[in-house]
């Protein structure tokens, strides 16, 4: 024991030397977006910024789960899009024109966490300023502590662009280089300015992010392909003895096994009466023999998320009533997908789906007047998809490079004003669609979705 104690300082010295001599950056993945991609996105933003403006982006906050346990950190999508950095406690500043600031002459600065062997022994390796400069090719990289020291006169700009500042930032009392201190400092130096603007950036970033570039599509296709296979495997495994949480565990296992870092959103696995709850995430109910289960789950890969929904019969066979409702939703979805073409308005797929659903529900006698369809279909049919599951976009005319969902549904909870044979039937079908110069590409099209194809897959 004495010998180990005697040698401890020696081993500590070796560890510290090894730490600072190691290659900067936790770069296990080799298919991340390139530094050139992020640099191109910063330049594209500059082209949209008015003259004599500056844009300030803060990394996402770190959130407490309970006591001293934190939720997994997830970078702010805009910050990631422009920098590539997925670490907390950072600030990115983009200038429209190059600026003389102290000893710098630059059009961009990023402030990042310094390397720290003590912290990294607990939380994992950081890039540090040298690593960020090496890996992300941002013109000026400084330690986070310099943010409060650098002499940036925000009052001289025509506009200071930023998103509404986060109000849920945790303060680390032992650090002056965390997001809490950065936000507090920024508020102090800009609070009297009349040139602050919190609206322009939202539109500019939506214009950029709604068009997916080829590098982005590689990652988005990967996320969707992982999700496709997981949904297919679930069809082959599902039976009525499972619980909702076992369904969730099964599909998320396949996400992670295939290389996804996370789920793009909390998985929805709602069976029986829970199939009629849009964003149900409790996932604790044991399934019953005649239940339908709505499974809305998508993998996230390098920040990009899939969003796929299938509705499955727990026992492998749709009842006549379940099949009738399911076929209406599928008809509505196919009508919506047919209108996912360049030049059409964003809401055209929704309008097409509504036309089908209101007509068919009236034919079945579930509604007496077509306008009553909203009792059973009360959400939009589409949203953009990308770095957010509900991604940024302009919601105007569809353009090549848009990726959107088409996801109509019908939800008939118990007690509804219709024949009880329809009660507790909830159906949603969702696919991810790439808008092209020609016909829409259904990126999630390998997942079976006719009742016949699903039943056949469930027999395997």
Determine which one of 182, 265, 373, 411 is catalytic.
411
Determine which one of 87, 244, 296, 432 is catalytic.
296
What's the burial of 166, exposed, middle or buried (CB within 10 Å: 0-12/13-18/19+)?
Answer: middle
| Residue bearing tokens 């005319």 | 397
What CA–CA distance (Å, rounded) separates 139 from 99? 12
Q: Tell me if residue 430 is catalytic.
A: yes
What CA–CA distance (Å, rounded) separates 192 from 267? 44
Determine which one of 28, 51, 68, 174 is catalytic.
68
Name 239's Cβ contacts closer than 8 Å, sequence gap at least 6.
314, 315, 316
Asked whether the CA dihedral 411, 412, 418, 423 is positive or negative, the reply is: positive
Q: Tell me if residue 411 is catalytic.
A: yes
Name 458's Cβ contacts closer than 8 Å, sequence gap at least 6.
235, 236, 238, 312, 313, 316
Determine which one of 215, 379, 395, 441 is catalytic.
379
Q: Tell me if residue 100 is catalytic.
A: no
| Residue bearing tokens 């006549």 | 320
Determine which one of 120, 390, 395, 455 is catalytic.
390
Determine which one of 63, 158, 236, 279 is catalytic.
279
Cβ 88 vs Cβ 177: under 8 Å: no
Determine which one of 300, 407, 431, 432 is catalytic.
407
Q: What is the largest CA-CA distance in the chain?
A: 87
Q: Tell me if residue 87 is catalytic.
A: no
How many distinct helices (H) and strands (E) make up the chain?
12, 19
Tokens of 76: 């702010």
Q: Tell me if residue 363 is catalytic.
A: no
Q: Tell me if residue 383 is catalytic.
A: yes
Q: Tell me if residue 171 is catalytic.
A: no
Q: Tell me if residue 68 is catalytic.
A: yes
Strands 104-112, 140-143: parallel, antiparallel or unpaired by DSSP?
Answer: parallel
Q: Tell me if residue 102 is catalytic.
A: no
Give, to the nearest 10 degrees, the angle between helix 320-338 and helix 348-363: 150
Name 375's Cβ contacts closer than 8 Å, sequence gap at least 6.
367, 416, 417
Tokens of 232: 């297919």
Nearest to 304, CA basis, from 220, 392, 401: 220
Determine which one of 181, 307, 348, 457 is catalytic.
307
What CA–CA distance (Å, rounded) separates 210 from 334? 23
Determine which one of 326, 383, 388, 457 is catalytic.
383
Cβ 356 vs Cβ 454: under 8 Å: no
Catalytic residues: 68, 279, 296, 307, 379, 383, 390, 407, 411, 428, 430
């Amino acid at each position: 024991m004495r010998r180990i104690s005697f040698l401890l300082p020696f081993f500590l010295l070796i560890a510290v030397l090894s730490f600072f001599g190691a290659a900067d950056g936790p770069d296990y993945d080799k298919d991340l977006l390139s530094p050139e991609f992020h640099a191109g996105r910063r330049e594209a933003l500059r082209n949209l910024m008015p003259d004599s403006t500056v844009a300030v982006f803060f990394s996402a906050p770190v959130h407490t789960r309970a006591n001293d346990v934190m939720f997994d950190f997830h970078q702010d999508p805009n910050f990631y899009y422009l920098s590539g950095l997925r670490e907390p406690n950072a600030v990115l500043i983009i200038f429209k024109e190059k600026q003389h600031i102290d000893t710098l002459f630059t059009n961009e600065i990023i402030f990042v966490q310094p390397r720290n062997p003590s912290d990294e022994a607990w939380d994992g390796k950081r890039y540090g300023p040298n690593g960020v400069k090496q890996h992300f090719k941002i013109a000026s990289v400084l330690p986070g502590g310099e943010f409060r020291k650098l002499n940036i006169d925000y009052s001289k700009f025509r506009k200071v662009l930023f998103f509404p500042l986060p109000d849920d930032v945790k303060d680390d009392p032992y650090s002056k280089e965390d997001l809490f201190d950065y936000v507090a400092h920024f508020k102090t130096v800009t609070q009297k300015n009349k040139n602050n603007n919190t609206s322009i950036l939202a539109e500019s970033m939506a214009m950029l992010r709604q068009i997916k570039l080829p590098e982005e599509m590689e990652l988005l296709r990967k996320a969707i392909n992982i999700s496709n296979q997981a949904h297919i495997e679930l069809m082959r495994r599902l039976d009525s003895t499972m619980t909702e949480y076992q369904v969730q565990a099964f599909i998320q296992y396949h996400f992670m096994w295939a290389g996804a870092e996370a789920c793009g959103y909390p998985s929805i696995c709602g069976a029986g009466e829970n199939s009629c709850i849009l964003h149900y995430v409790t996932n604790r109910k044991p399934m019953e023999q005649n239940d339908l289960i709505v499974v809305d789950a998508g993998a996230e890969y390098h920040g990009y998320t899939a969003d796929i929904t299938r509705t499955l019969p727990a026992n492998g066979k749709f009842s006549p009533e379940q099949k009738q409702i399911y076929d209406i939703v599928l008809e509505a979805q196919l009508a919506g997908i047919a209108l996912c073409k360049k030049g059409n308005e964003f809401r055209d797929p929704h309008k097409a789906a509504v036309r089908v659903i209101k007509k068919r529900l009236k034919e079945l006698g579930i509604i007496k007047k077509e306008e009553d369809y909203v009792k059973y279909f009360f959400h939009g049919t589409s949203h953009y998809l990308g770095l957010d599951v509900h991604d940024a976009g302009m919601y105007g005319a569809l353009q090549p490079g848009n990726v959107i969902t088409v996801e109509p549904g019908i939800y008939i909870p118990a007690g509804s004003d219709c024949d009880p044979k329809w009660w507790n039937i909830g159906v949603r079908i969702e696919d991810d669609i790439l808008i092209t110069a020609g016909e829409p590409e259904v990126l999630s099209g390998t997942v079976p979705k006719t009742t016949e194809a699903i039943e056949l897959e469930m027999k395997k």
